[in-house]
Amino acid sequence: MNLKTLIEFFESPNSLSLILHLISAMSIPIHGFGFYILIFHSPETMKKVKYYLLNLHFWTVLFDYSIGILTIPMILFPEFAGYPLGFVRLFDVKLSWCPIFVVPSSGGYSIGVATIPRSSHPVDNNGHCVDNVICRVLYNRSV
Q: What is Dmax (Cα atoms) for the chain?
A: 70
Average pLDDT by consecutive 10-residue portion of the chain (143 residues)? 83 89 94 95 86 91 92 86 88 86 86 73 59 57 49
Q: What is the pLDDT of residue 78?
A: 86
Q: What is the pLDDT of residue 82?
A: 85
Q: What is the pLDDT of residue 25?
A: 93
Q: What is the pLDDT of residue 92?
A: 85
Q: What is the pLDDT of residue 143?
A: 46
CA 35 to the chain's CA centroid = 14
How far apart are alpha carbons 17 and 24 in whole angstroms?
A: 11
DSSP code string of 48-117: TTHHHHHHHHHHHHHHHHIIIIII-EEEETTTTEEEE-SHHHHTT--GGGHHHHHHHHHHHHHHHHHHHH
